[in-house]
Structure 1
Amino acid sequence: MKIPTVRGAPRPPEIPKTEEHRFPCDNCGGDMRFDPGGDRMICDHCGNIEGLGRASPAAIREIDIRAGLDRGGAETEETRVLSCPNCGAQVEFDPAIHAAECPFCATPVVTDTGTNRHIKPAALVPFGLDEATAHAAMNDWLGSLWFAPNGLQKYARKGRKMSGVYVPYWTFDAQTDSAYAGHRGDTYYVRQTVMRDGKPVSVQVPKIRWTPKRGRVRRFFDDMTILASTSLPKRHTDALEPWDLSALAPYAPQFLAGFRAEAYRVELEDGLTEARARMDAVIARDVRMDIGGDQQRITSIDTRLSNVTFKHVLLPVWVAAYKYRGQSFRFVVNGQSGRVQGERPYSKWKIALAVIAALIVAAIALFIYAAAEGGGISTGGLSLPSGGGAGWLSE
């Protein structure tokens, strides 16, 4: 589907500079942060707790795709971001920070003073796990790894700080109506005579009867999520799924207090292209089911999309990035479910020892098999090949 761009629309008004996501404590003046797992803000200096009221989920607004592609109908904001020179991540930082470490690759960087204008998030899934719980999940995962260096888990347990990052995603809704043409294949059998070992044998041979088929399939896609970040390997973020998007809350800066938010690097149009490819794969599966039979051939699918809308949402991820023996490794933990995925080093010595052990076991098994084949194992008791030395006793 080609989504036309509306031209000539007025440019959005200038957005003021980024507001700091800082919320002073009414008790001591320190910075309060969002407390994962609860609708509240907490002050780490004096322990003061303040309730955080959420807006109704009904306030989350779907945006027409044409308005988003044109940017004239989508609300935008301007944020100050850090651009990592190593992995290219663009992470929001407040103006009080002048130097930091990239949460995605552990590269020391100095923040720039640039700003980034982008479509404002419509909603987010608040962090449900605190750092200690995410760290425990990561350590359990590290402990389950085979052939990991002995010092890896010990290194990770040295109190290495994890960063809570809201990772950007696009979600897409669309109503699809697809007309298709193809063929249905039904299996039937015919009896034929074939020669086997010089003798005629009657066998059942499968054949396919193809019948032309046309029809329509319809499907509504609701909140198809597309990763809008390029900072983490997609195979890792895909492995964090599924996300419970029923927990989406209308975007509010209080949820970001104490955390970071990554700016999206996959533009809306590119996200729509990926979503369309995923929709097409699902539609093709629906068409095969509608054709039925034992096999299917699809000649054509003509899909029309309507009511295409999107949202820019933020999903919670705990990130641990560290260097081990000169190499960078990253772990990610789903801040909602605790699912862990990541990169890991391998111990060459452990792999070598495992190979040697396997060869020894194979050699012993081969020796026992050879002895048994040579008649050295008796059925009346245990015996081994005779000859030389003191010999072997057997009953």
Structure 2
Amino acid sequence: MAVLDYKCPNCGGEMAFDSASGMLSCGSCGRKDNIEQSSDAPNPSVFAHGEAKEYQCNSCGAVIVTEPETTATMCSFCNSSVVLIDRMAGGFAPAKVIPFAISKAEAQKAFQKWCKNGRLTPGAFMKANRIKGVTGLYVPFWLYDLHSDVEVRAHGTKVRSYTRGDYMYTETQHFDVYRDIVLDYVKVPVDASEKMNDELMDKLEPFPYDQLKNFKTPYLAGFIAEKYNFDDRQLMPRAQHKVDGYIDSYVRSTMSHYHTVTYQSKDVDTTSRKAEHVLLPVWMFHYDYNRKKYTFAMNGQTGKVVGRPPISLGKMTLWFSGIFLASLISVKILSAAMGGGFW
């Protein structure tokens, strides 16, 4: 099966993508190659479509065993970066990629800072080296350009109160409300990997889509990459669901001048104008604390961290006690200022 690795033309050392420079870099002699100006490797004419699981490392000859979805990995014997290009060809080839902008060392440092900032996390959560694994992973996403035709019929009211003489009057006007709205959304992301937690991936957004580059395999060197498990048609319902809230918010904004609005009918037809298969950078952290395993994810471009750290019951009790005490003091001060008593 086809395996691609990157050797330095100067010294023969291992080359990998460098997030700081955005270039293919040799760890031995420091040579850097511009990926955008390089000719990418040709796709093989015969594709395995993810069925093959064994490959041979070009550096040491060891057998590399991978899961069917893996498209880039590391040799466990010599630590060489390998790209399984036959698994990324044809329909599985990404159109674009956002490269990593944060190195592994930077990601670990930022993650430790994030954990220490947790107000309710146990004090010992980051006092020991409990990180069991840090993986730079290119996650497959579909980016959708969506078009929505929205037709709404509703009943609206406007209420006006006024006085005349000794009397107060309330006037209520009733309106038939009709809206025919066209909405377009671009680059709506939906992760396409069966392994990834959808909630974690959604919370990592937004990614800087202005950093999207035409896909070239050298961007994967030194990282793990997956191919998609679900195509754009299968994930279209998730994409539609992601924009439902935006559609509702926009429709309500067009009726904000009414005091009350009662919907009679709302028809939403959302279609896909375009869907692109892209790879987005994610650092995955596997953390062990108090005999439990935790998984966190970091946006490989922005550094945003998501996940649920453990909660300290002691800190939570103190926090709520502090809020109660502060509220109690505020009420007593207010009561004293008003000349009353509070016990």
Q: Which moved more, 1:34-43 or 1:45-54?
A: 45-54
1:258 maps to 222
Deviation, 1:132, is: 1.5
Aligned runs of 1:237-256 on 2, under 5 Å?
237-256=201-220
Matched, 1:327 2:292: yes
Deviation at 1:343, TM superposition (A): 2.5
Give 2:3's aligned residue. 20
2:49 to 64, 78, 103: 78
Q: CA deviation at 1:81?
A: 6.8
Kindly provide the amino acid, as one letter, of the partner of residue 93 in structure 2.
Answer: K
CA contact (8 A) 2:153 2:266 kept: yes
Match of 2:142 in 1: 170
User: Does 2:11 align with 1:40?
Assistant: no
Partner of 1:138: 111
Q: More deviation in 174-183 or 237-246? A: 174-183
User: C-alpha displacement at 1:322, in angstroms?
Assistant: 2.5
1:308 partner letter:
R
Following the alignment from structure 2 to structure 1, what is the Cα–Cα distance between the partners of residues 261 and 230? Answer: 36
Q: CA deviation at 1:189?
A: 2.9
* Preserved CA contact (<8 Å) 1:184 1:292: no
Q: Which runs of 5+ in 1 are unaligned?
A: 1-16, 56-75, 83-87, 101-114, 193-200, 370-395
Quick one: distance in 1 between partners of 2:283 and 2:6?
A: 22
Return the TM-score normalized by structure 2: 0.72
Q: How does 1:343-354 map to 2 (within 5 A)?
A: 343-348=308-313, 350-351=315-316, 354=318
* Gap change, CA 1:89 and 1:211, over 3 Å in 2: farther
Q: Is the 8 A contact 2:131 2:286 kept in 1?
A: no
Give the residue type in structure 2 aligned to 1:78: H
Matches within 5 A, 1:44-55: 44-53=27-36
Match of 1:385 in 2: none
Select the structure of larger CA radius of gyration.
1
Residue 318 of structure 1 pairs with residue 291 of structure 2: no
Deviation for aligned residue 1:253: 0.8
RMSD: 3.7
Measured after TM superposition, the shift of residue 266 of structure 1 is 4.1
Of the candidates 151, 154, 163, which is equivalent to residue 182 of structure 1?
154
Q: Which residue matches 2:243?
A: 279
Deviation at 1:123, TM superposition (A): 0.8
Paired with 1:116 and 1:35, the residues of 2 have a C-alpha distance of 22
C-alpha distance 202-222 of structure 1, shift in aligned 2 (>3 A): same
Matches within 5 A, 1:1-395: 17=1, 19-53=2-36, 78-79=49-50, 90-94=69-73, 96-97=75-76, 119-156=92-129, 161-189=133-161, 208-294=172-258, 295-304=260-269, 308-348=273-313, 350-351=315-316, 354=318, 358=321
The whole-number CA distance in structure 1 between the counterparts of 2:68 and 2:168 is 64
* Deviation at residue 54 of structure 1 after TM alignment: 5.7
The 8 Å contact of residues 140 and 279 in structure 2, kept in 1 or not, is answered as: yes
Consecutive unaligned residues of structure 2, counting only runs of 5 or more, are 39-46, 55-66, 80-86, 333-343
1:33, distance to aligned residue in structure 2 (A): 0.3
CA contact (8 A) 2:74 2:223 kept: no
Contact 1:34 1:256 in 2 (8 A): yes
The answer for the alignment partner of 1:390 in structure 2 is: none
Work out the CA distance in 2 between the residues paired with 1:89 and 1:285: 41
How many pairs were matched up? 296
CA displacement at 1:348 relative to structure 2: 4.4
Deviations 1:136-179 (A, max 9, x none): 211111111124333321334x7765211111211111333333
Report the identity percentage.
23
CA shift, 1:307, in A, is 6.3
